[in-house]
Every structure is written in C-alpha cells, then in structure tokens.
Structure 1
C-alpha cells in the first residue's frame, strides 16, 4: 500500500497515558486546520476507540477500533495487516486527511512499530512506573522517534525521582528527543505538537503559532 497520509504510532505500557495524550493532541491539531483520524488497538474490545468517540472532538467515523485478538505488538510490528486495512478505509473515506494516529494497545517496554505501518512513532511512559525505566533499555524507549515521559506531576507521590529520570533518560536515548508532559495541565504538549508538525507534516512551527 502506498503511503499517502502521514502516520504516527503511539505506543507504550498499559496506563502510561497514550489515550490521554491523543485526547489532548487531536484537538490542538484540528484547531489548526489539520485533518486527523485515529486507529486504536485493543486485545478484545474497542474500549479506547469508544473513549475517544465519547469526547466528541472527531466524527466517530474518523476513529476505528481494531481488536487484535493477540498481543498488541503483533498487530503493530510483526503483522500489521489489520491496521493497514483500517488505515486504507480511512484514506478512502477521507482523502483530505493529513495525519492518522495509530495507537497501540497497552504493551511493555519491548513494543515497537513496523515502519511499514507508520512513518514515525512516539513511545509513552509514565513516572509512576518507576525512575528506573530509562535504565532498562527497552527497545520501545530506546528506538522510538520521540519518547514522552508522562504524568510528571505524580513523581512526588509515587517515590519517583524526576531529576534522576531527566539525568539518565538522555543517556539511553542517545540524542533522540524526549519530552516531559502533564496532560492535566498541558505542560509539554505544545512541544509534542511541534514535533508532529515538523517531523511528519513538514510545517514551520513558528507559522502555526
């Protein structure tokens, strides 16, 4: 299948805030006139797709839920056929699309995307999982085009050392970008949006502010 619409993967462990990140980013992008659609992956339900549809910021037809029936990483890395078909359906329905988000079901630190499916991918972790996550060198964390370290506001309440994370994460990312976010306050989200504009849509950040 030819890639005619930019595709961005959103992966990461269960509870890291992937869907919450989408709930913030999609309205930010659509407010700038960017045409967006979303494909979500869940094991045996369409829970994430239903949650996004309930927010009302996209027409429900622009959100497709894929039931993988197996480990989520299979559907985004080893055999992305179901996701490719969902993408194809969206492209046929909405030829004006600029960007399709593909959200993985919750997975572990080994979760990565096939570049046959996406042009780039974001890996989301949250500080509640512990300040040792960067040191574990998971392929998703190390290889992703962007890492989002989410829920930075809860660090004091879960015993996570945010300063340690900020010190060690760049060492293991080897120069690849990292953004620290709080979806409740919006901290860091503009920077994530700027990454999307520059990396996938090739738009000037300054022109879109």
Structure 2
C-alpha cells in the first residue's frame, strides 16, 4: 500500500508562490522580463516580485519542491461575482483533453446555469471554433483568445488578456459560471487566483504512469486533478494503480478523478466538485 501522507522533500523554502517559474522557463523567458524594473519589490518571504499588469505579482526564482496541496494559493474570498462570475480555470499539457472537458462541462451545465467560455491558443482560435462547431454554447457565449506567446503567461502573469473577455461575457449574459481554458503548457503552469476561483489540471495516461509523481504546481496544487483517457492505459503500458497511489501521495489528500471525458466517464464527478466549490464561494444552492 502506498504511503498516502505528504511527500517529503529537502527544501529550505517550500512555501512557494503560485506564480514561480522553473529553471527552464527562466532561460526561455529571460528576454521577456526586465528585472531592473522599478515595479519590482521584495515580498514578505524575502523573494523579489514584479507584475506586468498590476494584477498578478510573481517571482522568477526557481521552484524548490513539487509543491503541496495544503499550501496552494486559496480562492480570493473578497471577489465580487457580480463583476465577474465564478471562474473555472482548466489547464494541462497540449492534447490531454482540455477542450473535450470544456465541451462536456458546457453540455452538463448549460441547461441549469448561465455559462460562458473563453479558450486560449497561441496563434489560432481552433479550440473556440471546436466548441462552436460542436454546439457547446451559442457562439456569442464563446470567446477565443490568441495569446501570441507562452500560454502560461496569459493565465498566471499578464492575465488581462483573459480578464477582459471574461468580464464582458459575465455582464452580457449575467453569467453564473465561466470556463477559461489554457492554451496548454507544462507541469509548472498553474492559474493565478486573480483569474481562477477553481482550478482543474488535466493530464492523460498516454504520457505514462510517471506523470503524477513528477509533481509541479499543476499536479500538486490544482483544486482538482483529472487523469484522462484511462481507456488508453493498456495500449501505452500505463499502470492506473500506480497513478492512483502517486496521485494520493503527491496531492496529499487533494481530490483527483480518473476519466474518459470523450465517453462521458468521470464527468459527473468533475461537475460535482465544481458545483460544490461554486456553492461554497457564492453561497448559492445548486439546481
């Protein structure tokens, strides 16, 4: 039986900030950030923070552990949901089933709640067009954002490119729930709490059963981890029991769901998690 307690890591500062980058990301993005900016400041943790839009302060210091579910950034309790409806962020690597989950959630929620959706792609509007083509929602309730750069920047750092359309949709349709899909990124990518009130991170078994134990904020600190495409496990040699044990250990009791989203398996459980969080945040009862 796997040890379901918190994982033990040697770290001098495990209370990490949700907007930190890995070493690889630092190298990739050194050209994008001016660290001599007068807008930099030292946080209470002694780290140097800055913000590109005044909304999402973050640091570029390296992560020192895979992260802990119990130490994840919590939802902002002072949020005005009349200004922008309860927002669900859906992140994960490319091809894991984010857009399929968006479609499934639209189908499950649209008859009882006023919802709208924003998708992110780097240079296309393909995911938004997929939702429209498949009748997820009326086209006017869907916005496709072209981030023009690394997808994590639009969900974690300069989130204004998503806040604009989300607020517009919220006002136009008196939305109760908003869905925001990331453009697809690595295990270190996670949503800013300024953007997402509830964070879902989705992986799939085709990457192998090692993915959950690799950790990173996506795996360890999302409010819900979805392990998708379980029907492919045998074909790719992935052991679902190993993935379960590693998810229990790495998420320290945080919830996760095995799913086959395209076959509607696990979707009702995901919806239940979402609506429980929606009820707690908005003090409304589910319908």
Matched with 1:66 is 145
In 2, Cα distance between equivalents of 1:133 and 1:140: 11
TM-score (norm 1): 0.93
Matched with 1:182 is 260
In 2, Cα distance between equivalents of 1:141 and 1:35: 29
Which structure is higher in helix share? 1
Matched with 2:183 is 105
Q: Structure 2 residue aligned with 1:166, among 244, 251, 265?
A: 244
Matched with 1:86 is 165
* 1:147-166 → structure 2 map (5 Å cutoff): 147-166=225-244
Deviation at 1:201, TM superposition (A): 3.6
SS of residue paired to 2:244: helix
* 1:8-27 → structure 2 map (5 Å cutoff): 8-27=88-107
In 2, Cα distance between equivalents of 1:117 and 1:156: 37
User: What does the per-residue CA deviation read over 1:157-199, in whole Å, with 9 as the maximum and x for residues that have no partner?
Assistant: 0111111101111100011100110123322111101011111
Matched with 2:109 is 29
In 2, Cα distance between equivalents of 1:10 and 1:184: 16
- Structure number, greater radius of gyration: 2
Q: RMSD of aligned C-alpha atoms? A: 1.5
In 1, Cα distance between equivalents of 2:203 and 2:225: 8
TM-score (norm 2): 0.69
User: What does the per-residue CA deviation read over 1:42-70, in whole Å, with 9 as the maximum and x for residues that have no partner?
Assistant: 00111100000111131101000111011
In 1, Cα distance between equivalents of 2:113 and 2:81: 17
Q: Structure 1 residue aligned with 2:131, among 45, 48, 52?
A: 52
> Which segments of structure 1 move beyond 3 Å, counting only runs of 4 or more?
201-205
8 Å contact from structure 2 (residues 198, 274) kept in 1: no
Structure 2, gaps ≥5 residues long: 1-78
Deviation at 1:2, TM superposition (A): 4.3
Deviation at 1:15, TM superposition (A): 0.4
Structure 1, gaps ≥5 residues long: none
SS of residue paired to 1:107: coil
SS of residue paired to 1:184: helix
